[in-house]
Structure formats: C-alpha cells, structure tokens
Amino acid sequence: MNLPAMQKVLVADDDGINREVLAELLKPEYTVLLAKNGAQALERAARHLPDLILLDVIMPDMDGYEVLRRLRADPLTEHISVIFISGLDRPEDEANGLNMGASDYIAKPFNATVVTARVALHLQVVRQRRMLERLANVDGLTELANRRRFDEVYAAEWKRAQGERRPLSLALLDIDCFKQYNDHYGHPAGDRVLRSVARTVASFMRRPADLAARYGGEELALLMPDTDAVQAQYLVDCVCRAIEQLALAHGASLVKPVLTVSVGGATIAEFGGESATELLDAVDNQLYRAKHAGRNRVEWRQGGK
C-alpha cells in the first residue's frame, strides 16, 4: 500500500529567522516550502499547490493581504487555506485578516506549540474537504470522474476551447453486449471488467486536461481538449485495441469471444454554429452508428464543424 503523501505547507515570510523557525517546527510532519516575499509566495503557490500557506502580513513590496487577494483571484489557488502570521495584533487586524478569507490569524511573537496545533487542525480540515470533493466527483466503482464532474469539466473546456479557438474532441465508449456479459458471468464479474476497461481508458488519457469519466452505466466519456480529429481517433483506436488485448473472455458476445467496445466520437474545430449539447448528441449518434454497424469499431463524425 502506498503511504499517503505528506501534506505541503508554504511558509511566506520576509524574515529569515521566522522562516527557519517555522520550517524546523513543521518539517517533521509536512513538506515545507519557503518564500521570502509576496511574489515568490504566489509563484510557489501556483507551482506546488500547497495544502496550507502560513503568510506573513507585513512584507516589503507586496503585503500578505495583497498576496491573499491574488491567491483568491486565481482559480488555481483560490481554495488554498491561508493562516496569517502577523506582528499586527489588534483585534481589528485579526478581524480584517479573517474577513479577507484567511482560515486563521496568529499574532507574533508566536508560540511554537500553538502554531503546530493550529496548523495540524487546519490541515485536518483540508483533508476532510478533499475527501468530500472526491466523494462528490469520483465514481465509486470505476474511480473515474463521475457524470457530475464530467458535466462541469465539459462546460469549462468548451468555453476554453471556444475562447482560445482550439479543437475539442469528445468520445463515448460503450462495452459491447454487456447485458449478455452480466447474464452469463454475473453482475460482480461485470463490475470487475468495467473497472478493467475504465483503468485501460484512463491510462491513455495522459495530458493534464484529458478527462476519462463514467458517463452512465457501462458508457465512458473521453474528453480530449486541444486534440484534433486525427489525434483523437488515433488515441481512441489505441484504447480499443488495448481493451481487446486485455483478452477478457466474453463467451456470450455477439462479436468476438473476448470483450470489445464501440466508440462514437466527434471533434469541434470551428466554433459558432454548434452548442456543447449538440456536440454530445452528435457523439451519441456516432456511437449508435458504431453499434448498428456491427459493434467493435470507432465511428467518428467526418468533416469537422
């Protein structure tokens, strides 16, 4: 079993001694990253996506309040928890920090035990939030993104592709004769092959923006941003071949003695006429065609829209 990765804490303070003290305090339990000014804090936050930032309020050039404001304005870093560590110890300073969206406020000079306890508490909250996010977004059987997550990412990628005038490819993959598989081998065996198929699909979705999702029952969606029709069809052909090569026996298939899949796909290269829902419908039509042409094949809409 893999050990869970250590949580990451970024310490941003212009005072070298403070940075060192905090780093020594946290190093035994967490991966500690350091920043000596606001700009560095923002850059490290975006690059490493820490679980928590201990942020000094008073720093030259860019103070902690401004760093927090910029973190919250960037979708990449907006959810990172921040604890202010500040020499300003008036109640209104503390209230101001919390009102800006900090999780906590610790006045300097800080007490080491209190800092460690508060950091542990906030990181526990972060862990719980991640778990809830996972429950909300991940399909329990296949461990792929669930339908809710797919809908969300599809809408966002559609907007991005449209804005940047980049192609967007989408495919729906459906296991062939899965009803017969369940009838022949039993539902638990059906679950197992569905998981194997999902794992194989996911192993081909390698670019950071690619998404494999469970679209419904035994139907998986493959969302491939910034991927043209030629690249997407090549990738999907590889997926189908890899699934067939798993050589999962399917004695009741009307196609082959091993498990196969059918795929429908389409690429949108020019935006204007077609909506995201229409692209999905087009992909669904292609899947229907693949099934009706005998299954175990990929049908891709020809002539990009």
Ligand X SMILES: Nc1nc2c(ncn2[C@@H]2O[C@H](COP(=O)(O)OP(=O)(O)OP(=O)(O)O)[C@@H](O)[C@H]2O)c(=O)[nH]1
Q: Is 248 in the site for ligand X (CB under 6 A)?
A: no
CA distances 254 to 100, 240, 277, Å, are 62, 17, 32
158: left (phi over 0), alpha (psi -120 to 50) or beta: alpha
| Minimum distance, C-beta of residue 205 to ligand X, in the bound complex (Å) | 20
**Spatial separation of the C-alpha atoms in residues 242 and 14, rounded to whole Å:** 53
Residue matched to tokens 């071949």: 241
Which stretch, 22-30, 107-115, 187-195, 204-212, contacts ligand X (CB under 6 A)?
Answer: 187-195
Dist. CA 77–CA 28, nearest whole Å: 25
The piece of 122-130, 180-188, 232-240, 268-276 that touches ligand X (CB under 6 A) is 180-188
- 295 lies in the site for ligand X, by CB under 6 A: yes
Q: How wide is the angle at C-alpha 288 spanned by C-alphas 154 and 250, nearest 5°?
A: 100
Residue nearest to ligand X (CB): 190
Active site residue ranges: 218
Helices 229-245 and 187-204: crossing angle in degrees, nearest 10, is 140
Task: Write the binding mask 137 to 166 for ligand X: x where contact by CB under 6 A, - elsewhere.
Answer: ----x-------------------------
Q: How far is the CB of 137 from ligand X (least distance, A)?
A: 18
Q: Determine the Cα–Cα distance for residues 85 and 109; give it in Å rounded to an integer.
A: 9
Q: How far is the CB of 219 from ligand X (least distance, A)?
A: 8
* Binding flag, residue 177, ligand X (CB under 6 A): yes
Cα separation of 211 and 205, whole Å? 6
Cβ of residue 184: shortest distance to ligand X, in angstroms? 11
Site membership for ligand X, residue 178 (CB under 6 A): yes
Footprint of ligand X (CB under 6 A): 141, 174-180, 182, 187, 190-191, 194, 217-218, 291, 295
